[in-house]
């Protein structure tokens, strides 16, 4: 499994205040540019095969940016549009699965970073879907400078514990702040072979490029991350995915899915992998926080 997660520093930073002094010079320049001027990391919009994760949950994202499709008898729910350039890849994936993109009735907006929400206005234009945004992501969405000058659509604002229901499927929002102030994970029940699994679409625990000491834009970032790690471990997660495939071992799991024979377990059933993932990212957080605190003390 890849461990560097392939994130160029600067690609995920929210603004010029949120990078650390450890990033190397050319990337530091990238981090100083407004988010809308950032080049998209190479290959992130490349296609990735659409596939069923379990039951009515499908992956329709790109090579590096997750988008999920939840199918119901009353229409489709799309979660995360990624970059505007990602939208044709998502459209092709929805079509490849045999569904009609125009049947998307609800768009659950991704967390407040360009690589998850830039495509929202285009998907709204193409489908007329109701756009659901987490309350604490609203200020980011409202101030987001879409490269085409489009306004980010917001039709419904949700809080921790709120639900989105369509055609008999209900998703529940879980606030897990830190990566962004309003990072929302979503849970839903998934059935396979007569068993119901706790499905969980994680937001992100990634800390790359983040400033924990004296962060004027996000003063309680450390407290939020600590509470989020604790809360993240409390869900009885069985089947899981995340906003980037690298976080949940998509390449490896997809390879297993392709090779799956009758009777083999669904590779996306991975409760231990989820807990290990939370522990791994908490450790990264602790290490980077300690380093940043030591550096601040030494100055």
- Binding positions for Zn ion, rule: CB under 5 A: 113, 204
Least distance (Å) between residue 246 CB and Zn ion: 12
Given the complex with Zn ion, which of 94 and 107 has the nearer CB atom?
107
Given the complex with Zn ion, which of 66 and 71 has the nearer CB atom?
66
Least distance (Å) between residue 111 CB and Zn ion: 5
Given the complex with Zn ion, which of 116 and 124 has the nearer CB atom?
116
Given the complex with Zn ion, which of 147 and 189 has the nearer CB atom?
147
Percentages helix, strand, coil for the chain (3-state, rounded to 5) are 35, 20, 45
Least distance (Å) between residue 278 CB and Zn ion: 17
Q: Whole-angstrom Cα distance, residue 286 to residue 256?
A: 33
Residue 179 vs residues 174, 218, 220: alpha-carbon distances, Å: 14, 11, 12
Least distance (Å) between residue 187 CB and Zn ion: 20
64: Cα within 13 Å, side-chain hemisphere: 17
Instruction: Please state the separation of Cα 235 from the chain's center in Å.
Output: 17
Least distance (Å) between residue 206 CB and Zn ion: 6
Given the complex with Zn ion, which of 202 and 238 has the nearer CB atom?
202
Closest to 95 measured CA to CA, from 118, 126, 54 = 126
Asked whether the beta carbons of 24 and 135 are under 8 A apart, the reply is no
């Amino acid at each position: 499994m890849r461990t560097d997660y392939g994130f160029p520093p600067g690609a995920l930073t929210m603004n010029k205040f949120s990078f650390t002094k450890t990033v190397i010079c050319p990337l530091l320049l990238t981090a100083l540019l407004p988010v809308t001027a950032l080049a998209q990391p190479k290959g992130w919009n490349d296609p990735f095969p659409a596939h069923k994760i379990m039951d009515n949950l499908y992956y329709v994202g790109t090579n590096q940016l997750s988008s999920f499709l939840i199918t119901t008898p009353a229409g489709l729910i799309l979660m995360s549009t990624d970059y505007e350039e990602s939208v044709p890849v998502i459209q092709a994936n929805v079509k490849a699965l045999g569904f009609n993109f125009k049947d998307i009735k609800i768009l659950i907006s991704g967390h407040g970073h360009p690589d998850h929400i830039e495509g929202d206005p285009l998907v709204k234009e193409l489908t007329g879907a109701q756009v659901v945004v987490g309350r604490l992501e609203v200020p980011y969405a409202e101030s987001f400078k879409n490269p085409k000058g489009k306004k980010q659509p917001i039709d419904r604002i949700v809080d921790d514990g709120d639900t989105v229901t369509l055609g008999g499927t209900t998703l529940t929002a879980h606030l897990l702040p830190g990566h962004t102030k309003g990072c929302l994970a979503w849970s839903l029940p998934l059935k396979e072979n007569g068993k119901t699994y706790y499905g969980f679409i994680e937001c992100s625990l990634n800390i790359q490029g983040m400033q924990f000491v004296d962060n004027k834009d996000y003063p309680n970032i450390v407290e939020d991350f600590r509470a989020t790690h604790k809360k993240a471990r409390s869900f009885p997660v069985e089947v899981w995915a995340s906003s980037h495939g690298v976080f949940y071992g998509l390449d490896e799991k997809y390879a297993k899915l392709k090779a799956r024979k009758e009777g083999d377990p669904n590779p996306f059933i991975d409760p231990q992998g989820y807990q290990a993932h939370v522990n791994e990212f908490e450790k990264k957080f602790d290490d980077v926080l300690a380093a940043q605190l030591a550096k601040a003390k030494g100055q």
